């Protein structure tokens, strides 16, 4: 049996299998029913390992042990395997989430918070900076930073960036609004953004700008700014910088305040 390495690699990623497991599984699929010895020869896996591998595959729902002697294994149809793997992954994920939830209020989280607080006390504010690669990481850190806002969130973004941020961060914005945090968003307000702007009514003040920039200032202390034009870069290669710098952040926010006064409101733009 010849199976391309590239195909085996894909199966390993999709089904979270090790190399021996994926080799034995594909060998079993090619036979339908087979013994451990036969599969070992077909898949070029040591016989001493084939029984352990088949036992593992059986537990994961990829194979069934046939009654009788010699012991043989039956391949589970791939469509059924996918459903079983999905179910197992969901169960495992739910268990992990529950364990993490159970940590709240325990001595473990108290000790972690103590370690973090002590560590922050020893760090210079200027050292609290970092680069963020990939739009997924950018938005994760953006949400984290915004979530901790106490007074204000100031955003400038692109037309598409506005749509993305409202779609991904609206629940966070709503929570901030309830806490009395002032939220301002400046972006090019296109016709496509009309529904999005309307959706943010009462949550954030949105105004139109022709300027092209992508940054966020939180409480006049922290800045996240994106260094690339989102129209010209693939999300995977997007890059951002996070800096904890009250000196520069407050200066940037002051400049934003001046520009904000000259921006058209969303109502004026939608007339």
Pair (150, 52) in one structural domain: no
Q: How many of the other CB atoms lie within 10 Å of CB of 37? A: 13
Among 3-7, 38-42, 170-174, 234-238, name the one with the lowest average pLDDT.
Answer: 3-7
Quick one: what percent of the chain has pLDDT higher than 90? 58
- CA 265 – CA 206 distance, rounded (Å): 7
Q: Is the dihedral of CA 169, 170, 172, 177 positive or negative?
A: positive
Over residues 234-238, mean pLDDT? 92
Q: Flag whether 219 is in a domain.
A: yes
Which carries the bigger pLDDT value, residue 268 or residue 17?
Answer: 17
Over residues 178-190, mean pLDDT? 94
State if pTM tops 0.95.
no
Pair (68, 175) in one structural domain: no
Confidence at residue 22, expressed as pLDDT on a 0 to 100 scale:
93
Rg (CA), the chain: 27
Q: Please, which pLDDT band fits residue 193 given cuts at 50, 70 and 90?
A: confident
Q: How many domains are contained in the chain?
A: 2
Which carries the bigger pLDDT value, residue 118 or residue 206?
Answer: 206
Over residues 225-237, mean pLDDT? 91
Q: Is the dihedral of CA 38, 41, 47, 51 positive or negative?
A: negative
Pair (251, 160) in one structural domain: yes
- Residue 46's domain is classified under what CATH number? 1.10.10.10
pLDDT digits (tens, 9 = 90+) for 102-160: 888 788 887 787 776 665 555 555 555 788 899 999 999 999 899 999 999 999 999 99
Pair (157, 227) in one structural domain: yes
- CA 25 – CA 54 distance, rounded (Å): 8
Q: Please, which pLDDT band fits residue 267 given cuts at 50, 70 and 90?
A: confident
Pair (67, 130) in one structural domain: no
Q: Flag whether 161 is in a domain.
A: yes
- Residue 247's domain is classified under what CATH number? 3.30.870.10
Q: What rounded mean pLDDT belongs to the chain?
A: 88
Domain extent at residue 191: 126-269
pLDDT of residue 63 exceeding 70: yes
Q: Flag whether 146 is in a domain.
A: yes
Q: Please, which pLDDT band fits residue 224 given cuts at 50, 70 and 90?
A: very high
Q: Please, which pLDDT band fits residue 28 given cuts at 50, 70 and 90?
A: very high
Q: Please, which pLDDT band fits residue 271 given cuts at 50, 70 and 90?
A: low
Q: Flag whether 33 is in a domain.
A: yes
Pair (55, 176) in one structural domain: no
């Amino acid at each position: 049996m010849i199976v391309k390495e590239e195909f085996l690699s894909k199966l390993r990623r999709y089904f979270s299998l090790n190399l021996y497991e994926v080799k034995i599984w594909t060998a079993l699929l090619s036979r339908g029913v087979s013994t451990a010895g036969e599969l070992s020869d077909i898949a070029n896996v040591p016989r001493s390992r084939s029984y352990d591998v088949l036992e593992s595959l059986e537990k994961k729902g990829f194979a069934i042990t046939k009654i009788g002697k010699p012991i043989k294994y039956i391949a589970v149809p791939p469509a059924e395997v996918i459903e079983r793997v999905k179910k197992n992954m969901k169960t495992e994920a739910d268990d992990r989430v529950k364990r993490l939830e159970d940590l709240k209020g325990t001595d473990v989280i108290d000790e972690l918070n103590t370690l973090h607080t002590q560590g922050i006390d020893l760090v210079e504010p200027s050292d609290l900076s970092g680069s963020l690669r990939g739009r997924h990481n950018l938005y994760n850190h953006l949400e984290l930073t915004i979530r901790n806002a106490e007074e204000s969130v100031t955003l400038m973004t692109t037309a598409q960036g506005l749509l993305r941020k409202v779609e991904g961060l609206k629940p966070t914005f709503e929570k901030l609004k309830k806490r009395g945090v002032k939220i301002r968003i400046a972006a090019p307000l296109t016709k496509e953004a009309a529904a999005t702007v309307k959706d943010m009514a009462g949550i954030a003040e949105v105004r139109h700008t022709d300027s092209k920039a992508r940054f966020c200032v939180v409480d006049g202390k922290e800045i996240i700014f994106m260094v690339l034009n989102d129209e010209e870069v693939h999300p995977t290669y997007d890059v951002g910088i996070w800096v904890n710098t009250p000196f520069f952040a407050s200066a940037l926010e002051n400049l934003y305040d001046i520009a904000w006064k000259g921006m058209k409101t969303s109502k004026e733009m939608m007339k």
